[in-house]
Amino acid sequence: MKIAVIGTGYVGLVTGTCLAESGNDVVCVDNNARKVETLNAGGIPIYEPGLEELVKQNRRDGRLSFTTDLAKAVRAARIVFIAVGTPQSDAGDADLSAVWAVSDAIGDALRDVPAGPPGSRIVVVKSTVPVGTNRGVVERLTAKGCGHVDAASNPEFLKEGAAINDFMKPDRVVVGVRRPEVAEVLRELYAPFLRTERPFLVMSPESSEMTKYAANAMLATKISFINEMANLCDRVGADINDVRKGMGHDQRIGFQFLFPGPGYGGSCFPKDVQAIIAMGRRTNLPLKLMESVDEVNVDQKQVLFGKMKYHFGSTLAGKTIAVWGLAFKPQTDDIREAPALALIDKLLDAGAKLRVHDPEAMPNVRAIYGDKLTYCDGPYGAIEGADALAIVTEWKAYQNPDFDMMKKLLAKPLIFDGRNIYDEKTMANLGYTYYAIGRGKKAY
Ligand code: NAD
């Protein structure tokens, strides 16, 4: 099938590439000319494991190309995906300006194209958008004389860091349509990815749009829940790691998304929780649980700093702190809403000096902080002479380090572990002072 994907970011580039990989003819469009230039020169503007090879191969095979020419790509396509960003607006709601701009541009491009039978032209909104957006897209297309063009909702559930695998082997595909013919076209498109009997769920666009927010709201809730339990563990002398296991083996609960940490970040959970709260507000239904989930998370981003303040007291100024892990999670270079940035801001405010390391995200962090931080090539370089190490993102490279060597490099054997990746007893035996999250140690 001929496909255009508008917006070539984490979602659009993965979507376009995976659809090309399954034999479709895909043109990815972006209004960021530099991004398109990079892609056309064989580069990849983001870090996502496995993506570079797949892009290269599909470009070579002639199934994948990149352009800034939206109108040309849209006119040639049977299916047009909208995968532009929907960041948080100042009011907390999703900022849909890019979605509306692209919808209008699609309408302009298709205005003179003769209408075909149902399902012959489909605009699919893949961006995460509030309920009612699909209707808005239809209204905009109709206003441009494109009432014959179908609009579907097809939220994306991929995780950065495992995006290719998630797209290729989704737990489910959700589509929201108004006509069965449209669902059938999308079913055909997704069939290669659903060979293992994964469900293709057809519903109304409203339910489909809501599904994405409900799913992210649930995941964010689990994280804030376990973080709150962890903080209580610290106060009552329990160990969240044991508690987590004791809970998780209950099959009604399970283990997924029950790891305490320094708060959730990334380009989805924080803004999607805000957007669902805004949806509630618009309909006069205060979403009290969601408001608390957000509040707990905002506080959780300060927990690691709180432990440092507890340890150092007023002597934090002038101390050198090493930070391992800047991306909001491992296997990505994405630092949007990353907990590491909240910690860095607090430490800079307190007058600390920072030596930072991340395998992939340092260029993005440097673009924000410039020479306020010392960027180190390797994790061991970062801890040289540091008064303490803070671990914020659990990259594999940090999980089994040489603790003896670290002891020699650090000015003091002191670790604040925001991801609970080390064993407390081992650390104590090695002579480290070790603070983690919810392990029953007083640090508040
Ligand atoms: P992103 O910021 O990485 O990419 C968006 C791209 O759209 C950018 O390259 C930008 O230049 C381009 N763009 C913006 N306006 C444009 C326009 N008018 N014309 C053409 N291109 C335009 O965003 P993302 O992380 O890929 O997220 C996209 C959507 O998918 C969001 O709604 C997000 O909530 C949702 N989503 C993201 C993830 C994720 O893990 N990142 C997962 C599921 C869903």
Residue 441 has pLDDT above 90, yes or no: no
In angstroms, the CA 347 to CA 353 distance is 8
Q: Indicate whether residue 30 lines ligand 1 (CB < 6 A).
A: yes
pLDDT, residue 442, reads 84
**Nearest atom (ligand 1) to Cα of 68:** 20
Buried b (16+ CB within 10 A) or exposed e, 256-274: eebbbbbbbbbbbbbbbbb
Sheet holding 79-82, edge to edge: 64-67, 25-29, 2-6, 79-82, 122-125, 150-153, 173-176, 200-203
- Dmax of the chain from CA atoms? 75
pLDDT, residue 226, reads 98
For domain 204-444, the CATH class is: alpha beta
Residue 443 has pLDDT above 90, yes or no: no
Dihedral sign of CA atoms 349, 328, 268, 241 in order:
negative
Q: What is the dihedral of CA 203, 194, 266, 92, to 10 degrees?
A: -10
Same topology, domains 2-203 and 204-444? Answer is yes
Average pLDDT over all residues of the chain: 97
Kindly list the domain boundaries of the chain, sorted by start residue: 2-203, 204-444
Residue 326 has pLDDT above 90, yes or no: yes
Q: Indicate whether residue 158 lines ligand 1 (CB < 6 A).
A: yes
Q: Indicate whether residue 99 lines ligand 1 (CB < 6 A).
A: no
pTM for the model: 0.96
Which fold, 2-203? Rossmann fold (3.40.50)
Instruction: Dump pLDDT digits (tens) for 215-257.
Output: 999 999 999 999 999 999 999 999 999 999 999 999 999 999 9
CA angle 191/196/198 to nearest 5° reads 70
Residue 128 Cα to ligand 1 midpoint, Å, equals: 9
